[in-house]
Amino acid sequence: MSTPEPAGGAPTGVRARRRAEVERRLVEVGREHLARHGAAGLTVRGVARDLGMSPSALFRYVTGLDDLLTTLIVSCYDELGTQVEAAVEAVGPADASTRWWALARSVRAWALDHPHDWALLYGSPVPAYDAPPEVTTPAGTRVTTLLLRIGQEAGADDWGEPVLTGQEARAAAAVGPLVDAGFAGDLSPVQLLQGMTAWTVLVGAVSAEVFELFGTGNGDPEARWEHAVAVAERVLLGR
């Protein structure tokens, strides 16, 4: 009983523990590189260096640079999702508006804390890289799922008229397969479309600030952000 035995299937044993530890550090260091240099500056050699390993050693953990990037993207999505869920949780069963603003503020805060990560998730696609959707989607839809839930709660009894002159058919087209696939449960196409637009506006408003769409030193970006998010709120919750 000197060496820890794999009793039952628990991942004990020196090798397994070390591997898990290296995997943890790999993500940690990778995220640091992402934060400092952006996705374009992420390199196998650089990460290996900061890990104190030879470059080739990384290939024991990752099939290549793209694989590493995918891991980090999922890590980003999960961090954002966890933070936003907690923020909305924290305001409790408040009215939809309060919950919406909690969500929005939390998204913004994360983006400002992690501008490069934000750019990776919601900015220009990384050239010559395609994220595998089956890996990326579950983590990537946590925030939007929550957003849609908030809209749905609010819409339960006082959902406003659609913004475009009531085109159910159009909304259905806009959003089609998602509904067919049972995505977002029992939302109507119009509700789903309004949620997607609210998300589009929120992402646009955050990106406008993070990417400095209006340059620097031109008034208060947060006040502009609030204005746009108030617009998105009306879209999501009905006017």
Interface positions with its own copies (CB under 8 A) = 37-38, 40-41, 119-120, 122-125, 127, 133, 137, 163-164, 170-171, 173-178, 193-194, 196-197, 199-201, 203-205, 207-208, 211-215, 217-221, 223-224, 226-228, 230-231, 234-235
| 91 touches, from DNA, its own copies, none (C-beta below 5 to 8 Å by class) | none
Alpha-carbon distance 237 to 212, whole Å?
28
| 138 touches, from DNA, its own copies, none (C-beta below 5 to 8 Å by class) | none
Which of 27, 35, 38, 46 contacts DNA by CB under 7 A? Answer: 46
Q: Is residue 111 classed exposed, middle or buried when 0-12, 13-18 and 19+ CB atoms within 10 A define those classes?
A: buried
Alpha-carbon distance 146 to 167, whole Å?
25
Alpha-carbon distance 96 to 211, whole Å?
29
Q: Find the shortest distance in angstroms from Cβ 11 to its own copies.
A: 33
DSSP assignment of 27-48? HHHHHHHHHHH-GGG--HHHHH
Alpha-carbon distance 224 to 74, whole Å?
30
Q: Is 219 in the site for DNA (CB under 7 A)?
A: no
Q: Is 165 helix (H, G, I), strand (E, B) or coil?
A: coil
Residue ranges in 153-182 that form contacts with DNA under rule CB under 7 A: none
Which of 40, 45, 125, 213 contacts DNA by CB under 7 A? Answer: 45
Q: Which is nearer to DNA, 22 or 179 (CB)?
A: 22
